[in-house]
Amino acid sequence: MKTLHVPLQNVSLYETALDKMKILLEAGAVAEIDQVNWKNEFPEKMPVTVRVAHNNESLYLYYTVIGEELRAVNTEDFGSVWEDSCVEFFMHREGETGYRNFECNVLGALLSRVHESRDKGVSQTELMSSIYRHSTISHRYENGKQVSDWSMYLEIPKEAMGFKDNESLSGQKIRANFYKCGDKTPNPHYLSWNPIDLPEPNFHTPKFFGELDFE
């Protein structure tokens, strides 16, 4: 099981998303989303990283993806974003029976639910407006094909993670995993930070989560 030490950074002091992304590039903890768990059926791999920090009130995630053939179909929250070019964060707090997922496609369309199992979850509809998203995309050609380098910056308030107003993120330890997927992209793929030992693709697997240790 991998562990990531999440630094305390005053990211909220910076005004623009680009400034905040720069701080995460410089001072965020880096997790490589490089586990190809189902190599025979889905061997596709690309460089994907997420940089992570917090400021006691929110978790900051900055994903970068290099060289993907994009799919961007879902434009509204709670759509089938996992079928598009998508990055994901799943987490479980000690003492809670369920786990939470945050899945965001390249357009910033998002879904978040509190799950008892893969097929049973409650949407966090009232909290969606509090989760900030900002994406960047650049296109280029590689071996005659158009590919894209893109990023997704997310600010997830602690309430969406199941913490109360009087709770601080500092000192917390949570189980979590980071993912990159694209079920209906030209090259379907299922990448993770912590490895998953199952016969078929499934990210709803808390027993394979790693640990985030908040400074």
Q: Where are the beta strands (DSSP E) in 74-144?
A: 86-93, 99-105, 110-117, 120-123, 132-142
Of the pLDDT bands very low, low, confident and very high (cuts 50, 70, 90), residue 20 is very high
**Domains of the chain in sequence order:** 3-214 (2.60.40.1190)
Query: 146 burial class (0-12, 13-18, 19+ CB within 10 angstroms)?
Result: exposed
For residue 126, what are its two tokens? 């009232």
Mean predicted confidence (pLDDT) in 207-211:
97
Could you read off the pLDDT of 47-87 as tens digits, one per residue? 999 999 999 999 999 999 999 999 999 999 999 999 999 99
Could you tell me the pTM of the whole model? 0.96
**CA atoms of 69 and 71, how far apart (whole Å):** 7
Confidence of residue 95 (pLDDT cuts 50, 70, 90): confident
Chain centroid to Cα 114, Å, comes to: 15
Confidence category of residue 18, pLDDT binned at 50, 70, 90: very high
pLDDT in tens, 102-159: 999 999 999 999 998 787 889 999 999 999 999 999 999 998 999 999 999 999 999 9
**Reduced 3-state DSSP string for 125-145:** HHHHHHCEEEEEEEEEEECCE
